[in-house]
Amino acid sequence: MDFSVIGDNLSYFLLGAYPDGPLGGAALTLLLSLLSGLISAVLGLVLGIALVLLDGKVRWLLLGVLGFLRAIPVVMLIFWSYFLLPILLKVDVPALATVVCALSLIGGAYLAHSVHAGISSLPPGQWAAGKALGLSTWQVLRLIILPQALPMMLPSFLNQWITLIKDTSLAYVIGVGELSFVATQVSNRVMVHPTEIFLFVGLLYFVFCSSLDLIANRWVKPGAKTR
């Protein structure tokens, strides 16, 4: 084991070629996951509520789309949107936008089901009671259902966000210079230290994901007590 290779390339691992070139490395990983995390949370909430409120054909259509997004491996979705869209529609999607879109769509599809499951796990009497008090559907949802359902579903949200941070590494298929990608570049140049480099990369991901875990746990606890 020889960890000097980490020290020698530290700024490349953390920032990529920045400031002489585009931002990359761990900073890009964080940026990508932050953006897609936000978009997928909003998407998941909206679509999850739609699953609860809609019925009939529209709901089946939505289920179909969500099913497809959950079914396709992330790598494949990124690959297809990057290479196939330009050929089919003659639209050129930049690599970074492709990654954010693909990750948000897939994350949103998973979260939609979690939100739906959380809402459905509440007894139907909650809806009836809300309606009996003269509240509209939206008011019941906002004032009664969501405050109970969301804390319950937080573990699923966290699972999904943590998955998202790690999934940004799949951006390598289209040459986006995030953490795993720059690590591979360095590993290929020095040739003999893949173990050291990937242990270090694993550690970085561990720090990112665990701190998210810690912050989130602290944030969940007060809510759990009021139940």
Partner 1 sequence: MFGELLGPKYLHWLFDGFVLTLILSLLTCLVATGLGFLLCLARISPSRLWSWPARAYLALFRNTPLLVQLFFWYFGVTAMLPEGLVMWLNQPRSLALGLFDIEWPSFEFIAGFWGLMLYTAAFIAEEFRAGVSSVRLEQRAAGLALGFTPAQVWRYIVFPQAVRTALGPLLGQYMNALKNSSLTMAIGLAELSYASRQVETETFKTFQAFGFATLLYVASIALIEVIGQGLARSKWYKQGVL
Partner 2 sequence: MKKLTALTALTLAVLSGLAHADRLDDIKKSGVLRVASFDSNPPFGFVDAKSKQIEGLDVDYAKAIADKLGVKLQLQPTNPANRVPLLVANKVDLVLANFTITPERAEQVNFSIPYFASGQQFIVKKGTLTSPQELNQWRVGVDKGTVNEGVLREKFPGAKVVAYDDTPFAFTALRNGNVQAITQDGPKLIGLLANVPDKDKYEVPPFTISNDLIGVGIPKGEERLTEVVNQTLTDLEAQGKAQGIYDTWFGPTTKTPLTRLYKIGDKS
Figure out which of the listed residues 7, 55, 87, 124 binds partner 2, where binding follows CB under 8 A. 87
Cβ neighbour number for residue 195 with a 10 Å cutoff = 11
54, 117, 150, 190: which one binds partner 1 (CB under 8 A):
117
- Provide, rounded to whole angstroms, the least separation between the CB of residue 7 and partner 2: 12
* Least Å from the CB of residue 29 to partner 1: 10
Residue 10 binds partner 2, judged by CB under 8 A: no
Yes or no: say if 29 and 99 are a contact pair by the CB < 8 Å rule: no
Question: Closer CB to partner 2, residue 195 or residue 211?
Answer: 195
Indicate whether 84 belongs to the interface with partner 2 (CB under 8 A): yes
Size of the site for partner 2 (CB under 8 A): 32
- Hey, is 64 helix, strand or coil? helix
Cα 63 to the center of its chain, rounded Å: 19
**Cα–Cα distance between 47 and 221 in angstroms, integer?**
26
- DSSP E strand boundaries for 1-63: none
> Does 155 sit near partner 1 (CB under 8 A)?
yes
Q: Minimal distance in Å, beta carbon 175 to partner 1?
A: 15
Does 216 interact with partner 1 (rule: CB under 8 A)?
A: no
- How many whole angstroms separate alpha carbon 11 and alpha carbon 15? 6
Task: Provide the minimum distance between the beta carbon of 24 and partner 2 in the complex, in angstroms, as a whole number.
Answer: 9
Burial class (CB in 10 A: 0-12, 13-18, 19+), 4: exposed
Distance CA 204, CA 183 (A): 11
Burial class (CB in 10 A: 0-12, 13-18, 19+), 61: exposed
User: Applying CB under 8 A, does 114 fall inside the site for partner 1?
Assistant: yes
User: By CB under 8 A, is residue 215 in contact with partner 1?
Assistant: no
Q: Is 217 in the site for partner 1 (CB under 8 A)?
A: no
State which of residues 30, 150, 213, 216 lies at the interface with partner 1 (CB under 8 A). Answer: 213
Can residue 191 be called a binding residue for partner 2 (CB under 8 A)? yes
Decide: is 150 part of the binding site for partner 1 (CB under 8 A): no
CA-nearest of 203, 199, 198, 178 to 188 is 198
Positions in the binding site for partner 2 (CB under 8 A)? 8-9, 12, 16-17, 20-21, 82-84, 86-87, 90, 92, 172-175, 177, 181-182, 184-192, 194-195
